[in-house]
Amino acid sequence: MAGSAAGSPARSADCAACLALCCVGPSFAASADFAVDKPAHTPCRHLRADHACGIHDRLRPRGFPGCVVFDCFGAGQQVVQVTFGGSDRRVPAMFDALEVLRPLHEVLALLDEAARSGGAGAGAVGDDAVALVARVEETVRGDADALAVVDVAAVRREAGALFDEYVATVHAGRPGPDLRGADLLGADLRRRDLRAARLRGALLVGADLRGVDLDRAELLGADLRGADVRGARLDGALLLTAPQLAAARGDAATTVPDHLARPEHWTALPSAR
Ligand code: SF4
């Protein structure tokens, strides 16, 4: 939220080019992620007049870790600068557009990875990903009326099928354990061989993954909140996103994919070794 940026330019938040839509549009109930109740379409009490967060450098200690891990994947500036032509005034229709564009931008960020694989022997899957990226990019350039009728679920389904192909291609007939959707909340996984594991949608909240090699492990949609990944090898993980990394607890020894930035708060954590 208001102040973050990582990853490729088109798929990462540029809060300076937005109107803090994510700090105004959603409603929040007070929780471990967001310290206060906030009604929808109402500015957060910490939002400044210049659309910046007044507590950006203290979000975790002030009880707003949910803001640290939130990422619009560049959808916010797309709404303001493209859908609404660079408007300097927030209007309610922007929030509707953001609800469509955020998931589409997340899909694009993931498709980028599969598209890049075209040059690494993934051939047809990479080509299909490039083609789907082009179609989704055309969709996100639509005006507010066009966005209102986009079937986001259908786009996700199509991308999901392509991700299956991508993962299967990378695993080359030698997949690891199939843990898709598994409940691994708080599990000690330090001795599990999770190389090439399928962890799509797995619940890994608070799991102990210290020092684990997750090379070619598929992490699409895995819930990594509070997962201890200190010293883990994540550089070869598949379909991992910046918000997932930010939600986990890593350290200087944790490796991350080249296309993702190392979360700033990791350096403050004690090392696993
Ligand atoms: S705490 Fe800061 S980042 Fe979070 S919603 Fe409020 S203004 Fe936005």
Closest atom of ligand 1 to CA, residue 66:
4
Residue nearest to atom 2 of ligand 1 (CA): 53
**Whether residue 109 is found in the same domain as residue 196:** no
**Whether residue 131 is found in the same domain as residue 191:** no
Report yes or no: 90 and 21 within 8 Å, Cβ to Cβ: yes
Q: Is 46 in the pocket of ligand 1 (CB under 6 A)?
A: yes
3-state secondary structure of 249: strand
Give pLDDT, residue 6: 41
Q: Which 8-state DSSP code applies to residue 146?
A: H
**Whether residue 93 is found in the same domain as residue 47:** yes
**Whether residue 161 is found in the same domain as residue 204:** no
Domain end (from 131, 152, 171): 171
* Burial (Cβ within 10 Å: 0-12, 13-18, ≥19) of residue 145: exposed
Q: Is 1 in the pocket of ligand 1 (CB under 6 A)?
A: yes
Closest atom of ligand 1 to CA, residue 56:
2
**pLDDT (tens digit, 9 = 90+) per residue, 250-265?**
999 999 999 999 998 8
CATH number, domain with residue 231: 2.160.20.80
Read off the pTM.
0.90
Give pLDDT, residue 272: 55
**pLDDT (tens digit, 9 = 90+) per residue, 198-224?**
999 999 999 999 999 999 999 999 999
Domain end (from 115, 145, 171): 171
Spacing, Cα 129 to ligand 1 middle (Å): 34
Whole domain around residue 214: which residue ranges? Answer: 175-264
Q: Is 21 in the pocket of ligand 1 (CB under 6 A)?
A: no
Closest atom of ligand 1 to CA, residue 59:
1
Number of domains the chain is built from: 2
Residue with tokens 């090699």: 213
